[in-house]
Amino acid sequence: MAKVRGKKEAKLSKSKHKLTEAQIAVHWKEEQYFRPSKKFIAQANLKDPAFVKKFSERYFPECFDHYANLLDWDQPWRKTLDTSNPPFWKWFVGGKVNACYNCVDRHIAKHKNKAALIFVPEPENEPPLVITYQELYKRVNEVAAMLRDFAQLKSGDRVTIHMPMIPELPITMLACARLGIVHSVVFGGFSGEACGLRAADSGSRVLIYADSYYRNGKKIDHKGDADIAVATAEKEGQNIDKVLIWRRYAGHNTSEAPMIMGRDFYVDEVLKDFAGQTIEPVSQDADTPLFLMYTSGTTGKPKGCQHRTGGYLAYVTGTARYYQDIHPEDVYWCMADIGWITGHSYIVYGPLALAATSVLYEGVPQFPDAGRPWRIAERLDVNIFHTSPTAIRMLRKAGADEPKKYNYHFKHMTTVGEPIEPEVWKWYHEVVGKREAVIVDTWWQTETGGFLITTKPALDLMKPGSAGPAALGIYPAIWDETRREIKPGEDAAGNLCIRNPWPGIMQTIWGDPERFVKQYYSKYRKNPKSKKWQDWPYFAGDGAMVSADGYYRILGRVDDVINVAGHRLGTKEIESACLTCSKVAEAAVVPVVDEVKGRVPEVYISLKPGILPKKAVEDKVIATIETMIGKIARPKMIHIVPDMPKTRSGKIMRRVLAAISNTMDTGDITTLANPDIVEQIRVLVQGRHVGPLKEGPADIKMFGEET
């Protein structure tokens, strides 16, 4: 096995102004390989090496017809890939297809009595709810009829859905897809304000909400967020005509927030008028948008990743089949939230297109105790399990021996969203997977639609900590800042890029095609005039290394994005929130290593002249971040500093702050305009991290501003 030795600092692009996640993740040690079991290989969807060869570069792009052929098309495509307007690729040109038909209607003939969704409520005394394909068909049709005839929505309109993990969420998404309405699902944990901004950006005039849901043993009142979302959208110039509210218990109110007459409607009441109605799926051109998914980027404003119907559905169906090994008889449980891309691709569209049973769990994994996931798996006989390293770390911490107590058997497990430490991987394999399950560590992004780097579960060896080789039909490259390619086995890291387009890649950023080109293609494109896909590599924004065996190890973000517990947060978004507090003069947000969540944001603020650094200011900043973005963005700490380290041109040196927060070497600071501040901040911050004085004015007395 090739040896790639540990490096103190990965040789990444050396940005002057920030220390990136990728630069913080600097450990590299080769791990031993693990083999898939013979039993798994015997039943796997992908065990023929000849199939893999069909995806080599010489068969590109037609190799992806294999994925598209997994769907039922209303009209076949004429051309697999049209590159005439790079990087706005068109896939399966001339083809017509409906995503809802492929996930629901086409399974009725063979699987109508099979469970499509099994909803597991968080309260353990509420039994699981099984929704068969037949029932799903009925419910999706009724909701589609309501969206068309009551909400007056049609193909191409956008609708914003801010809902928790209840079955009405995928039902609503599929009803939208049936009509060609572009859904934009906002993660339930985001604030009403964050939802309102996204609704305004997408031009939605209808919001779909839930009244309440359970999380960590508490009933969360969600309807109130709808009122904030409407007010925020209206402030941005977007009127909301209707708010449709699903009730957690049909017929019973569980929210304190009042209903606004003529604007707010309970879905269960409106649906009475549509009982038993069916609606023909509306055939869509392959390239019509299916949904928007907002994600954090390098500027303050989240961007709406626009995904297409045909290419996206083909890509998630193919990857769910070959990498997750989903067969129609499997019970598949992905613990992600549908409000993120993982849930869209690998709870809803991929598994349902393959007629699997997809489990939906409402709550947090460790409620009421760390045995909950394993009880669910045992009860429902789940055999494919999918979660994030953060959840694995949390469950391991809360009950390392817990899985052994339960009689479930996984054949396959997926991990996604962040780098997984080899020791955490090994616990997942040995204790959760009982050494029977294969693991795929899948690297991808909101933008990419589906997996791009992962092992082929029956064909490749697993290596803890490395996502694996490129997925079928994906040709990556790692380049440094000077476009020198970093070769397999080279002891260096660089920027991970994908040289070719693939059907799952987003179409554009909603309403901002220029930003799409700039963000993903301007860095490495060879010639802006070229019509050849070879000249338009996709820049992913992640640092990576590749070892001699061709396995990629993802180090983390190289830009202003922090990956918190597998969720993306823009540092600029958090900084903008801080700056809305009237006492804050400057704000800088940096990623800090966290034992459970991988990375968390830490906030540095300096105050306006004459303002005293009190705990109340910190509280205000935290509350503002939670209101404007949501609890997921809650910083680990707020440091009030007398001044920020700055370059002579006045730029805040986030690199220095990140180094301090992560107890790393601050590097050369002699060129700063105010090098003395660095030591002051270091003493302040590192004192807070290890010392007993965690908060309160005592530890900020050193500035002499408070007595």
Nearest residue to 75 via CA among 55, 54, 101, 109:
101
Query: Which residue lies nearer to ligand PRX by CB, 297 or 645?
Result: 297
Q: How far is the CB of 479 from ligand PRX (least distance, A)?
A: 16
Contact pattern from residue 249 through residue 268 relative to ligand PRX, giving x for each residue in contact according to CB under 6 A and a dash for the rest:
--------------------
> Residue-wise over 276-306: b if at least 16 C-beta within 10 A, else e?
ebebebbbbbbbbbbbbbbbbbbebbbbbbb
Number of other CB atoms surrounding residue 503 within 10 Å: 27
In the complex with ligand PRX, which residue's Cβ is closer, 132 or 563?
A: 563
The only residue of 185, 279, 341, 641 in contact with ligand PRX, by rule CB under 6 A: 341
Mention every residue, 6+ apart, whose C-beta is less than 8 A from residue 542. 22, 443, 495, 496, 554, 555, 556, 557, 558
Sequence-ordered list of residues with C-beta below 8 angstroms from that of 364, at least 6 positions apart, any chain = 122, 215, 216
At its nearest, how many Å lie between ligand PRX and the CB of residue 563? Answer: 5
Minimum separation from the CB atom of position 505 to ligand PRX (A): 13
Q: How far is the CB of 111 from ligand PRX (least distance, A)?
A: 28
> By C-alpha distance, which of 480, 483, 477 is closest to 526?
483
CB closer to ligand PRX, 265 vs 291: 291
Q: How far apart are the first and last CA of the chain?
A: 61
The answer to whether 293 and 566 are in contact (CB under 8 A) is no
Q: Does 478 bind ligand PRX (CB under 6 A)?
A: no
Nearest to 352 by CA among 491, 222, 174, 512: 174
Token pair belonging to 202 = 């997408």
Q: How far is the CB of 389 from ligand PRX (least distance, A)?
A: 8
Cis peptide before 403 (omega within 30 of 0): no
Binding span for ligand PRX by CB under 6 A among 24-32, 179-187, 412-420, 432-440: 412-420
| Residue 223 backbone phi and psi in degrees, to 5 | -60, -35
The stretch among 124-132, 346-354, 566-574, 615-623 that binds ligand PRX (CB under 6 A) is 566-574
- Residue 330 binds to ligand PRX (criterion: CB under 6 A): no
Residue 132 or residue 324: which is nearer to ligand PRX going by CB?
324
Instruction: Give the nearest distance from C-beta 453 to ligand PRX in angstroms.
Output: 7
Residue whose CB is less far from ligand PRX, 15 or 254: 15
Query: Interacting stretch for ligand PRX, rule CB under 6 A, among 198-206, 565-573, 575-583, 634-642?
Result: 565-573
Per CB under 6 A, the list member of 160, 342, 358, 571 interacting with ligand PRX is 342
Asked whether 293 and 307 are in contact (CB, 8 A), the reply is yes
Min CB(311)–ligand PRX separation in Å:
17
* Site membership for ligand PRX, residue 467 (CB under 6 A): yes
Query: Which one, 343 or 501, has the nearer CB to ligand PRX?
Result: 343
Pick between residue 20 and residue 45 the one whose CB is nearest to ligand PRX. Answer: 20
Stretch that binds ligand PRX, among 135-143, 395-403, 563-571, 642-650 (CB under 6 A): 563-571
Provide the β-strand partners of residue 62.
Answer: none
**Of 423, 411, 493, nearest to 457 (Cα)?**
411
Kindly indicate which of the ranges 10-18, 183-191, 357-365, 411-419 contains the residues binding ligand PRX, using the contact rule CB under 6 A.
411-419
For ligand PRX, the closer CB: 212 or 563: 563
Contacts of 157 (CB under 8 A, 6+ apart): 181, 182, 204, 205, 206
Residue among 242, 568, 654, 655 that touches ligand PRX (CB under 6 A): 568
- Least distance (Å) from ligand PRX to the CB of residue 541? 6
Binders of ligand PRX in range 94-153 (CB under 6 A): none
Q: Quote the CA–CA distance of 408 and 432 in Å, as a whole number.
A: 9
Rounded Cα gap, residues 687 and 637, in angstroms: 13
Shortest Å, Cβ 323 to ligand PRX = 12
C-alpha span between 633 and 638 (Å, rounded)? 12
Q: Which residues of 20-35 are buried (b: 16+ CB within 10 A; e: fewer)?
A: bbbbbbbebebbeebe
Matching residue, tokens 């997996």 = 451
387 contributes a contact to ligand PRX by CB under 6 A: no
C-beta of residue 176 within 8 angstroms of C-beta of residue 146: no
Q: What is the DSSP letter of 75?
A: B
φ, ψ dihedrals at 435, nearest 5°: 60, 10
**Which lies closer to ligand PRX via its Cβ, residue 21 or residue 264?**
21
Do 552 and 476 contact (CB within 8 A), yes or no?
yes
Buried b (16+ CB within 10 A) or exposed e, 92-122: bbebbbbbbbbbbbbbeeebeebbbbbbbbb
Helix/strand/coil (H/E/C) assignment for every residue in 335-358: CCCCCCHHHHHHHHHHHHHCCCEE
Strand partners, 215: 218
Min dist CB 337 to ligand PRX, Å, is: 11
Q: Which is nearer to ligand PRX, 212 or 446 (CB)?
A: 446
Closest CB to ligand PRX among 238 and 446?
446
At residue 559, what is the residue type?
A: D
Closest to ligand PRX by CB, 387 or 666: 387
Length of the chain: 707
What single letter denotes the amino acid at residue 540?
A
Total binding residues for ligand PRX by CB under 6 A? 23
Q: What angle is formed at CA 178 by the lines to CA 177 and CA 184, rounded to 5 degrees?
A: 20
Site string for ligand PRX, 413-452 (x = CB under 6 A): ---xxxx---------------------xxxxxx------
Q: What Å distances lie between residue 203 and 96, 183, 607, CA to CA?
A: 26, 11, 37
Closest CA to 37 of 560, 457, 618, 568: 457
Tokens of 457: 């579960």
Q: How far is the CB of 109 from ligand PRX (least distance, A)?
A: 33
**Should residue 466 be labelled a site residue for ligand PRX when binding is judged by CB under 6 A?**
no
If the CB atoms of residues 289 and 419 are measured against ligand PRX, the closer one turns out to be 419
Task: State which residue, 18 or 178, has the beta carbon closest to ligand PRX.
Answer: 18
* Shortest Å, Cβ 247 to ligand PRX: 30
Give me the least distance between CB of 358 and ligand PRX, in Å please: 17
Q: Which is nearer to ligand PRX, 144 or 416 (CB)?
A: 416
Least Cα distance to 633 among 681, 542, 563, 697 occurs for 563
Of residues 621-680, those binding ligand PRX (CB under 6 A) = none
Least CB distance to ligand PRX at residue 497 (A): 12
* Shortest separation between residue 682's beta carbon and ligand PRX, angstroms: 28
The nearer residue to ligand PRX, 362 or 418, going by C-beta atoms, is 418
Number of Cβ within 10 Å of residue 519's Cβ equals: 19
Nearer to ligand PRX, 230 or 555 (CB): 555
User: Which residue shows structure tokens 């990623």?
Assistant: 591
Residue nearest to ligand PRX (CB): 446
Which is closer to ligand PRX, CB of 177 or CB of 561? Answer: 561
DSSP 386-411: EE-HHHHHHHHHH-TTGGGGS----S
Which of 23, 141, 295, 357 touches ligand PRX by CB under 6 A?
Answer: 295
Residues 523-562, one symbol each (x = binds ligand PRX by CB under 6 A, - = not), give: ------------------xx-----------x-xx-----
Kindly state whether residue 198 participates in binding ligand PRX, applying the rule CB under 6 A: no
- Residues of this chain that bind ligand PRX (CB under 6 A): 295, 341-342, 416-419, 441-446, 467, 541-542, 554, 556-557, 563, 566-568
